[in-house]
Amino acid sequence: MSSFQAYTGGLSSFFSIWIFCLMQVIPGYLVYVVGTSMINSYIEKRCVVSITSIALVPVIGFTAIFVIMGLPSTSIGKMAFQYNGLMNQFCGVFIGLLGCHFIGALTFRLNKLTFYIGRILTGFAFGIALAFAYKPCVTPTLTQIYTISRSPDYLLDGGLLLFYYSVGVFTAVGAVTWVVAWFCAGITNESFRTVVKVVCGIFLLIFSFLILSGNMTIYKSLLVGGFVPAVLQGGL
C-alpha cells in the first residue's frame, strides 16, 4: 500500500458510511475548535493564523497517539494499550475541565505569552484525549494498514501509513471545522459569542461523561448499528 492510498482511504471515510464511526471524534473536535475560537482575549476575530493553529494542534496530538496505538508490537505501543483505561479516565476528566472552562465555571488569568503557550499545550492534550477516547471502526484501508503495522519487519512502513491515514481523515474533518470556526469567529455580538462558547462547553461535558461512564463504546454502537444498516438499505 502506498502513502497516497492510505491518505485517500482516510479522506474517503468522511464521505462514506464510515463517517458514523468518525462521529466519535467530529463533534468533540468541532466544539473544541469553535469554543476556543470564541476565547479571543489576545487574538483578533477571524484571524486565519489563529483559527488554523487552533484546528491544527489537536490533530498533531491525535495523530501521535493514533500511530502509537496502531503499533502494538512496539514497547510504547504496548504501554499505551496497558494503560489505555487509566489514560482514558484522565482524558475524560481533562475534557470535562475544558467544558467547565468554556461555560465559565473555571477561569484563568493569563498574560499574552502564557495564553498562547497554554492554548498550544491544551490543544495538543485535547488531541491526545480524543485519540484515547476514539474506538475506530476498521475500514478496509485501515485493515490493510493494521496488517502491515503489526509485522515487526514493517513497523516504520505501518507507522507512516497510519500517519497518512490520520492526515486524510482530518483533511476533511479539519476543513469543515475550520469553516464553521471561521464563521463563528466573525460573530460580533458578545452575548451571542458567550452563548456559542457555553453550548460548546456543554457538549464537552457530555463527551466527558460518555468517556468516564464507559459509554463511548455504546455511543459508537448506537451510531454504527442505528445508521449504517439504514444507509445500506437505502442504497439497495
Q: For residue range 55-91, what is the model confidence (pLDDT) as tens digits?
A: 999 999 999 999 998 888 788 888 888 888 888 888 8
The identity of residue 24, as a single letter, is Q
226 band by pLDDT with thresholds 50, 70 and 90: low
DSSP conformation class of 153: G
- 118 neighbors 224 (Cβ within 8 angstroms): no
Count how many residues are written for the chain: 236
- Lookup result for grid cell 461512564: 213
Q: Does the CA dihedral 167-40-26-184 come out positive or negative?
A: negative
Q: What residues contact residue 87 under an 8 Å CB cut-off, 6+ apart? A: 80, 132
Q: 50 CB contacts (<8 Å, ≥6 apart)?
A: 37, 40, 43, 44
Rounded Cα distance between 164 and 61, Å, is 14
Q: Are the beta carbons of 137 and 58 closer than 8 angstroms?
A: no
Instruction: Name the residue type at position 181.
Output: A
pLDDT in tens, 4-49: 999 999 999 888 887 878 888 888 999 999 988 887 644 555 677 7
The string of pLDDT tens digits covering residues 151-196 is 777 888 888 999 999 999 999 999 999 999 988 888 878 888 889 9
